[in-house]
Structure 1
Amino acid sequence: MLNPAFPIFFLICSAFVLLTLVTFSVPFISSFYFLHSSVAGGIKYGIWGWCLDVDDSCSPKQFGYHEDPELVPILIKLHVLFPIAAGFALLASLNLIPVVCSRYRELYPFTLFAVLSFLAFVSSLAGFAVSIATWTIALDRFHRDGFQASFGPLIWMSLAATVILLLVALNAVCGMLWSASGGRRSSRIIYTY
């Protein structure tokens, strides 16, 4: 029989993988970028820098790099929310392992998992909002200067991670509140499984 905690464990692990890929974007992994522009024959922007399409040369790996006047430096630095969200998702998934592996999952307190999944969702949502602001401003500035620009896959991957974390956080918080109020459990029945 499938453990009822397994789907939530799968979802939180999926969100962790997506957020990790968002974190290690260009120039670490050149196919994962937030924005592609036609400047200098094509350039891809990520959290840690940029890479040129022409000769695959990349900027030094630096958090909070500058690319004036298109990118707002403070918004680039706020992308630190994605690694933070990935860290909270990792801690939440590690916290859920005993529940997935145990026969006595009813005895396990879900409060820590609910808090960690909620923090992962909030930091992922904030990171997604910052990325939308950052890359929409950059897109408009590139278009204003006469260059072509388009969003990359990381915008959609961060949106998917945020939606997944919303579902997990809602499930965890509602489950915690349900179990705190007693749920369906009768005080006269002793569960032995």
Structure 2
Amino acid sequence: MALGPIHCGSFLLLAATVLLLVSTISAPVIDNISFLNITQNRAKATLGVFGYCSNINSNNHGCTPSQLGYDIASVSTITGWDYQNGHLETLTKALILHPIATGLAFLSFLIALCSDRLGFLFASLIALLAFIVSLAALVIDFVLFGIIKHEINDNTSAQASFGTAIWLTLAATIVLFFSTFVVCFSCCTNRRRSRDRELGGGYASGGYVGNQGPVMGQTYPTTTTRKQHFWNRNKNVY
């Protein structure tokens, strides 16, 4: 396995996977991790990927079952204002993109960690796909929860604010964007290192014979020049 950039790319992919995973296990799985927080006096509601939790700070605390899509209007029990919007309820089903992006990021991490040469290129393509899915999920998050936040703050006495999960998704999307290029760059650098090792092996094995010095262990014929005395230098001239 190549050293260098591949470790950086794998680390980025792992970081993106963890960030997306934490945002995915938001309310109702973990009630304090949410995309949107709604507070009314001492009561608090948190909205996540597969449902929401209401009245977290009171004795009437309860969370919906984990499901694909949920009714936004039912959160009105904490705000005292009934907001009906069937389009938003349908849009909550698109939050399934979060676990899909998590799975793609993790798959790209495994491929990058165990691959060599062209495997890095394949991992970068999976990372690019994970980035696109994560970006789509992020846009849906801001549209969906942004509308709810605006409606609650403008029409009720409750206060709504973006939660931790939406910022984790934003961070994961940025990390996936850079990791795509880092892992792709690893493919190029590893190819170049392999080519350099092959060329270096040719020199070491004696494959290239031009301008080489003596090879260790090989004998060459030697010629010796006998020194002549000055009275014999002109001998046999005639």
Q: Flag whether TM exceeds 0.5 (same fold).
A: yes
Contact 2:53–2:63 (CA under 8 A) maintained in structure 1: yes
Contact 1:43–1:51 (CA under 8 A) maintained in structure 2: yes
Deviation at 1:170, TM superposition (A): 2.1
| Within-5 A mapping of 1:48-67 | 48-52=50-54, 53=56, 54=58, 55-67=60-72
| Within-5 A mapping of 1:1-193 | 3-4=3-4, 5-38=6-39, 41-52=43-54, 53=56, 54=58, 55-68=60-73, 69=83, 72-99=88-115, 105=116, 107-146=117-156, 147-176=158-187, 178=188, 185=195, 189=199
Gaps of 5+ in 2: 74-82, 203-238
| Higher RCO (CA-CA < 8 Å; seq separation 6+) | 1
Figure out how many residues of one structure are paired with residues of the other and give that number: 183
Separation of aligned partners in 2, 1:134 and 1:140:
10
Secondary structure of the 2:70 match is: coil
Gaps of 5+ in 1: 100-104
Distance 1:168 1:64, change over 3 A: same
Deviation at 1:90, TM superposition (A): 1.1
TM-score by length of 2: 0.68
Secondary structure of the 2:199 match is: coil
Runs (4 or more) in structure 1 with deviation over 6 Å come to: none
Separation of aligned partners in 1, 2:111 and 2:136:
23
TM-score by length of 1: 0.83
- The amino acid of 2:171's aligned partner reads A
Separation of aligned partners in 2, 1:70 and 1:39:
19
Separation of aligned partners in 2, 1:30 and 1:19:
16
Aligned identity (percent) is 29
Cα RMSD between the aligned structures?
Answer: 2.7
Distance 1:70 1:39, change over 3 A: farther
